[in-house]
Each structure stands twice: as C-alpha cells, then as structure tokens.
Amino acid sequence: MNLSLEYQNTILAELLLEDGLLILSRGLRLFGIICSLLKMHVKKQNLVLLLNASSNEEQSLKEGLADLGMRKPGLKIVNSEMGAKERNALYLNGGILSITSRVLIVDLLNKIMPTDKITGILVCHAERITDTSTEAFILRIYRQENKDGFIKAFSDSPESFTSGLAPLQNTLRLLHLRKVFLWPRFHNTIQKNLEERGPDVVELHQPLSVAMNGIQAAIIECMEACLSDIKRGNPMIDIDDLTTEDAMNKSFDLNIRLQLEPFWHRLAKQRVYVRVIPKDDEEESDINSEFPPNIHPVLEELPKWNLLGDIMNEIEHEIELSNKQSQHTDNLILIMTEDIRTCSKLREYLSTNQNDLKEGETRGRPMLNKLLKSYFRNKDGITKASRNLHQSASKSKNTDNAENKVYKKSESASINERTDKTKLKTPYKRVQQPPNKRRRVRGGSIAAAIVSRNPTMTTNITPHSVDNEIKEIADLSSKNESSSSSAQAQETGFCQDELDTSTFSSHFGLIPTSSLVVVRPLNGEDDDRLLASLKPKFIIIYHPDPAFVRRVEVYKASNPNLSIRVYFMMYENSVEEQRYLTSIRKEKEAFERLIREKSTMALPIGQMEVNLETSGNFALPTQNTRIAGGGLTADNLQQIIVDVREFRSALPSMIHLRGIKIYPCKVEVGDYILTPKICVERKSISDLIGSFSSGRLYSQCEAMSIYYKQPMLLIEFEHNRAFSLTAVDDVKSYIGMNDISSKLVLLTLTFPRLKIIWSSSPYETVQIFQDLKKSQDEPDPERAMAIGLEGGEDADSDYNITPQDFLRALPGITSKNYKRVMSRVENLKELSEMSLTDMQALIGEQYGRLLYDFFNKDARV
C-alpha cells in the first residue's frame, strides 16, 4: 500500500502537520493513507490507539502494515477477552493498538490506561460520532487529561455530514478538532492523477427485457403510491426524504420490504409455469425430462448473462490474437459482483458447456431448472410442515368445531384422491442423468426460454391445482434423486456428493494465469489488496459501484505500465443505473455543502479546553442553595457506581458530561448504585421484553430487594422516540396476562418496595439521578462490588466479562452458583462436555439436569 500518487502524499503531509478530520471520497484508498500514517508512528515509546475499526478493517490494516515492512510488532488487537492486568502491561509497552470502545472507556476511568502516555488516537468512521457515542466519551476524557497527544479522524461518507443543523461543526466539536480536510473526487489534484493515466473503459448498456421493463414500471408505480399514502397518513414526517429516487437506496428498500412481505404470496402463478395439454401424436422424447410431461416451466434468463457471454468471447478472441503475436501470460480476468450469491450463479453459468446442451436449450437453462426444482422441494416441505401444524392445532380444538374438522378432512381426502387419479392417468418415468452438470467453457449464446402462445395452453389454475402440481414436481424430483443416490451407493459402497465426473480433467497441475477467471463480490477496502495481488488485465464490473470504479482508477494510476481494460455493465434506463447516478450526485452535493459550511462555520479561538468541573457547571443550579452547604464544590463531586456492562449504552457518557464522577465496577446486583440505599436496574424497551420472557428480571428485582432499601427499575426510552409502550390505536379494551403492562403490575405486587422510573431519554435519566442523589450519602465502591458475592470471592477477579454474560444466561446458572462454575471449569467447552453426574455435583440436582438437557438437546427436533 505504498502511496505513489500526488494527492495521497499531499493528504498525508497535511495530517502530519496538523490534527484534523479527513473526509475523502469512497474508493480513493483511505486505509492506505491510514496505514502510512500508522507506519510513521511505529516506535517503542509511542502508544497510538485506533478506534472504531471493524474486524475486517483491522485485518486489512494488519496486512497493509505487513506490506510496508511492519509485520512485527504490527497492529495489536485489544478486546474484552484480555484481562485487566494483561491490558495494562500491553499499554505500558506501547505500540499500535486497535481497541474496542467499551474496553477503552472502562480502562480510562479505572486508570488502567495511562492517559499521559498516549501519543495519539486515530478515529475511523468519524461520521458515527454523536453526542451519546462512546467514542465521544473517550475523546472527552483523553483531551481532558492529555493536552499534547494528537487526534486524527477519518471518514469516506460525506453524505453523513449533511443532515441536521451544522453537522460538520458539531462533529468537529465532539472530536475536539478545529481543522477539516475535504478531498472530493472532483478535486483538481485527484482529477489530474487519475485521468491522465486512466484505464481503457468499455461501457456496455444492456436494455431491459420486456418483462423486466414491465416489472420495473409496476414496482415504481407501487412505490409512488405507497409513498403518497405515507405522506398523507404521516404529516409530521420530513416529506423531502420520501421520494422515489431516495427509495431506490438499499437501506430504504429493506424498510419497504418489511412492509410488503405479507403481499409476496400473491405473485401470479402464470408467470412461474404453465400447464400444457400434450397432443396425442406427441412423442415421448419431446417431453421435458426434468418435469412431469404436462408441466413446462417458463424461465427467463437475465439479459446480462448473454452480454457477459459476449464479453468473454471477445476477451478470449483477443487473448488468442495476443498469444500469436507475443507470449504474454498475464491475461487474468476478474469479474466483480455485489454479493456472493451472484458470484455462484455466474460461476455456474460460465462453467456450463454449450456443446452438452440439447437442441433449442439455452446456456442458463440447466441452472434455472435446478433452481426451480429446489424451490418446489422447499415449498413442498413448508406446505407439509404447515399442514402438520394445522392438523395438530385442529386436534386441540373443542368439540364445537367438529363439523369444520370433518369438512376439512373430507376436502383434503378429495384433493388427494384427485391427485392420485392424475398420477395414474399420466404414468411417467424419467431417463436417469447425472445432476448438477458444470462445464468450464467461456462464452456462449443465449435465447429466451419462454413458451409461445398455444391454443392448447391453459392458465385456469386454481390454488388446489397449484399445490398439487408443486407436490407432483417435488415428489418426482425427490424420487429421481433418491434413485440416483442409491444406485451410486451400490456401486461405490457409500453415498458420495452429486458431482458430474465428466467435468473433471485428467490433467493435474497448476492452472496458468492466462486461463483464470476470478469471480469475486465487492468487499470494500479489501478490493485494493485484491487488485494488487491478482493484477488482472481484464476487469468486468457486473454491478456498477462508484467506489470500485475509483479503486480501479487508483490502481491503474499507481501502475501506469500495466495494460488494463475495464468492461462496465449496466442495465439501460433501469433502477440500477438510477441508483448509480444518484449515489455519485449525492456525494458531489454533500461535498459542495461541506465546502460551504467549512467557509462559514464558527471555530473556537485557541486550544479547546475540556474540564470536568466546568463541563458540569450547568448541573450546579439544580442544587438547593438555600440550604447551608447545599452548593456543590469541585472537591465534593457527586459519584455513581456503574456496572461495566452498562458502557454499551449512552447513559454513562451523559452522566459524565453532567459533572458526575463515575466508578466502573463489576456489580453483581443492579446497574447503577446512586447511594448506599438506592440501586437502579436499567432496561431499554427491547431488554425489558426479553427479561420478562426469560424470567431474569424477577431474579434481578429479588436481589435488589434483598440488599437495598430502595430498589428501582429504570425503563428508559430512546431519544427522539415515542414515549409510550404501545400506540394509542393499539390499546385494547381487554388487557391479557401476557401484556407488558400486566407483567409490570405483577412485578410491583410481588416486590412492594420496587419503584419504577419512566425516562424519555438518557438526558432525562441524568436529571432524575441528580434529583435522587440530593442530600444523600455517596456510595462505596468496595461495598457495592462485594454485594451479591459469596464468602471468600474476590470482587476484582480477572474473569472475562463476555463469557460471564453467556454463562449466566444458561439454564440452571444463577447468581449464586455461577462463580463456583467459573472457578472449577476452565471454559464453556469443558462445561458443555460434562456428564449429568458431574453437573449435578457442581450446581445441584435440579439445576444440573436443566443445564445438561440444554447442552444435549437435539436442535433438529
């Protein structure tokens, strides 16, 4: 990942000169710049932290540093699996560490991380930094205790900085930065570097088929109607974001799909297959051997497959010409798709041998037939499972439904009778042939496999006849596959995978590069390494992606001596084309807005100071100044004990922001200890429902009632969300026992001293906590950690938190026995392999039976 382009070196020089936020267009090797920046700080006395990087990005950075000659010590990963003492030793030794935010904030508050020794912090995905994020909490503490260390932030998502009021200015404030570096694709330096040595690009616009055009128009029309209904029914929402163009984005599609899921079963059966009445003089050989004789599937191949075949033929022809002129072997072909599923389909399509196809059969027909049969088998299995469920449910009904039962049974019997008669009238025997044929031949033609109009064709399909046809096809396919597998097993003595041995070559050896065709899905920053390692001569972009297009441009500009041809495939006048153009336009508009905001935003003069006492001053007026000593001094700050598991939420950050001192501890009872008498268990709405279902909330409230005089349950809603458990329209006249409100009432009746706190947001929760702590004693961390522990147990043990959470969620594991299990069992694997006798000896007869049954339950039943 050497930086060989001018714009890359300029960006690196700017970041070395001054702290700031870098916003770069996607696909311009952002992580290559981060790798080079990390390399310059690889010194034994330096401690550089990397925040907000995913596991894949961490691996990419490790490999990038290895390419730069920094394999050792390289990038070290720090997570919750490491003990506190081990992490402290790692911090003192220095180096480049990628650390999770929750672990780092706990170590900063507990002084395990020496803040004064941190050389600097690099923040990835700066667009995710918000007021309530843990990263903002970390940077606030870091800048408060370390004024000399650097902070550098990175982002390749400019669209994320365009929503809200002054988003760029707010992000810089949270990052404690004053400088922003904007590098869009239309920057003069980038344009100069990429366009003067660009690759040879061939744009291919494939027209949509008639059916695809009709489907696209119908879907867009439906989307427009749905969006209009949403606008009319919700006048409070932002109408500007509800456009058909915005709805084409993938995130919007997922939300719409959830609403349209109940309507997918209404797909017209006529567009899947048709029943054809065979003529009397039709020969047996003309009947489709893959399906029953009266079923002809209507399968339409994607137009891009034909275009891809033409491209492969053109490339193959050019390779043959170049081999005659000179002996060049670097002719690797790289095909990039958007997902793994498309990769598998293209591999199977390209490996199908045209010479083995039947007359009139297209190249994609065998694969489509196999997919259709798989669909029928799955649907038949679901139908059988649904039928079994209905039968078991009907047995449990009372005698009032006896007549309905008789009717359903007689109807089912008549359907089965008609199905049996149909099978007897149309005897059928399929000629055996090996399934899953695959050929490794490039190119090929394609034709539409659509049944023409025929006077003997009928589309009068009833739901019962459709189910019968599906069952007939599934039974036929299962019968053929079982007979094929049994015959194979008799020959070899065991059942093998269904592979066509005729597709294998007798030659064994390395495949030359000139004959390789690599099909890969788009994978973000890893695509840069893919291009550098494969060095393809021909690149086919099957699905348009602006980021990958730029990666190819950067790759070609960095290797001007390489000859690269890019085939850019796109459906003409389609949603795919619109989505591609919209993403480019939105990125450009986002950068233009950022440039304008950068020129007008207000920045603080001098170094931004962060002081815990001053940052919490706005909380001081809540104290009662009429009472002598009621004022809050810097030497007598309020303090709250917080369970370390709670740092996944935003509340600890908000508490610290209000000037309240936080003690992170492993607390066995409660989540927040406000005073020696007040203990609070915090639950979000989703956590509240899950805790009621598992029964965990009962045991938590029971423990709080035993050890604290004022146990409290905090039900906290998310910020800017409705402050209600259920919508007004969903309120029923009758409240059942399984409703949340009923369970809350039973909980308060069971524990009379339990108080319930309703909070609309974390901001409101902090204010409630401050009111509860007025004129109260401060909690003792040592006592809080000791509560709930058995005698002789150490509160400062080095057990990992994540395995503890998993262990305590198992059946039979309680707050009283989980410590004993951890002290006597090495890990969860050893626990799962214990016998029933050993488990009962460890945690008791009843709990041991529950745990043993959980580990040894057959998941297939």
Give one DSSP letter per residue of 172-217, joined into a string. HHHHT---EEEE-TT-HHHHHHHHTT--EEEEEEEPPPHHHHHHHH
Q: What are phi and psi of 471, to 5 degrees?
A: -65, -40
Cα 459 from chain centroid? 42
Query: Cα(436)–Cα(792) distance, rounded to whole angstroms?
Result: 64
Q: Position 133: which residue type?
A: S
Start-end of H helices in 616-674: 651-657
- The CA-based angle 157-161-165, given to 5 degrees, is 170
pLDDT at position 819: 78
Half-sphere exposure of 648 (CA within 13 A, CB side): 10
The runs of H, that is alpha helices, within 396-446 are 402-425
| Residue of 58, 140, 144 whose CA lies nearest to 99 | 58
- pLDDT of the residue at 141: 93
Give the distance from CA 537 to its chain's centroid.
33
Length of the chain: 861
Q: Yes or no: say if 291 and 480 are a contact pair by the CB < 8 Å rule.
A: no
Assign 296 to helix, strand or coil: strand
CA dist 536 and 559 (Å) reads 12
Which of 238, 189, 232, 167 minimizes the C-alpha distance to 12? 189
The Cα 135–Cα 128 span in angstroms is: 9
Bridge partners of residue 49, in order along the sequence: 97, 121
The one-letter code for the residue type at 93 is N
Compute the chain's Rg from CA coordinates. 33
- Residue 617 to residue 530: CA distance in whole angstroms: 53
Please report the pLDDT score of residue 361 as a whole number. Answer: 63
Question: Could you give the CA distance from residue 207 to residue 188 in angstroms, rounded to a whole number?
Answer: 35
Which residues of the chain are modeled with pLDDT < 70? 1, 230-231, 233-242, 246-296, 326-329, 353-361, 363, 379-508, 513-514, 604-636, 720-722, 726-736, 789-802, 858-861
In this predicted structure, what is the pLDDT of residue 120? 94
Give the pLDDT confidence score for residue 216 in this predicted structure. Answer: 86
Q: CB within 8 A of 430, min separation 6: which ones? A: 289, 290, 476, 480
Kindly state the DSSP code that residue 299 receives in the 8-state scheme. Answer: B
Q: Is the dihedral of CA 354, 359, 362, 366 positive or negative?
A: negative
User: Which ranges of 206-339 does DSSP label H, i.e. alpha helix?
Assistant: 210-233, 244-247, 250-260, 303-325
Which residue type does 399 have?
T
Query: pLDDT tens across 172-199, in order?
Result: 999 999 999 999 999 999 999 998 878 8
CA dihedral 363, 368, 370, 371 (to 10 degrees): 150
Return d(Cα 270, Cα 298) in angstroms, integer: 9
Judge contact between 6 and 193, C-beta under 8 A.
yes
Structure tokens at 70: 């920094």
Q: For residues 422 and 409, what is the distance between their CA atoms, to the nearest angstrom?
A: 20
Write out the two tokens for 548.
């990958």
From the centroid of its chain, how far is CA 762? 26
Query: Residue 713 forms beta bridges with which residues?
Result: 681, 756
Q: How many CB atoms lie within 10 A of CB 813?
A: 20
| Helix 836-843 and helix 845-855, axial crossing angle in degrees, nearest 10 | 140
Q: Could you give the CA distance from residue 646 to residue 576 in angstroms, rounded to a whole number?
A: 43
Coil, helix or strand at residue 249? coil
Cα–Cα distance, 150 to 38 (Å, whole number): 13
The pLDDT of residue 470 is 58
Q: Which pLDDT score is estimated for 462?
A: 52
Give the type of residue at 616.
G
Closest to 331 in 3D by CA, of 314, 348, 346, 347 = 314
CA atoms of 349 and 1, how far apart (whole Å): 35
Residue 651: predicted pLDDT? 92
- For residue 480, how many other CB atoms are within 10 A of its CB? 19
Residue type at position 769? F
CB atoms within 10 A of CB 784: 25
Q: How far apart, in whole angstroms, are the C-alpha atoms of residue 514 and residue 512?
A: 5
User: For residues 348 and 437, what is the distance between their CA atoms, to the nearest angstrom?
Assistant: 9
Tell me how far apart the alpha carbons of residues 667 and 789 are, in angstroms, rounded to a whole number: 9
Per-residue pLDDT, 807: 83
Can the peptide bond before residue 73 be classed as cis, meaning omega within 30 degrees of 0?
yes
Q: Show the tokens assigned to 86.
A: 């081990």
Tokens in use for 408?
Answer: 């359903």
Within 8 A by CB and 6+ apart from 386, the residues are none
Across 17-56, b (16+ Cβ under 10 Å) vs e yields eebbbbbbbbbbbbbbbbbbbbeebbeeeebbbbbbbeee
For 647-658, letters b (16+ CB in 10 Å) and e give bebbbbbbbbbb
The dihedrals phi and psi of 660, each to the nearest 5 degrees, come to -95, 130
* CA trace torsion 561, 565, 570, 576 (10° rounding): -20
Please state the φ and ψ torsions of residue 776, each to the nearest 5 degrees. -115, 155
E strands, 34-183, in order: 47-51, 75-78, 95-99, 120-123, 150-155, 180-183
Token code pair at residue 355: 């010479």
DSSP per residue over 484-529, as a string? Answer: HHHHHHHHHSSPPP---GGGS-S--SPPPGGG-EEEEE--TTHHHH
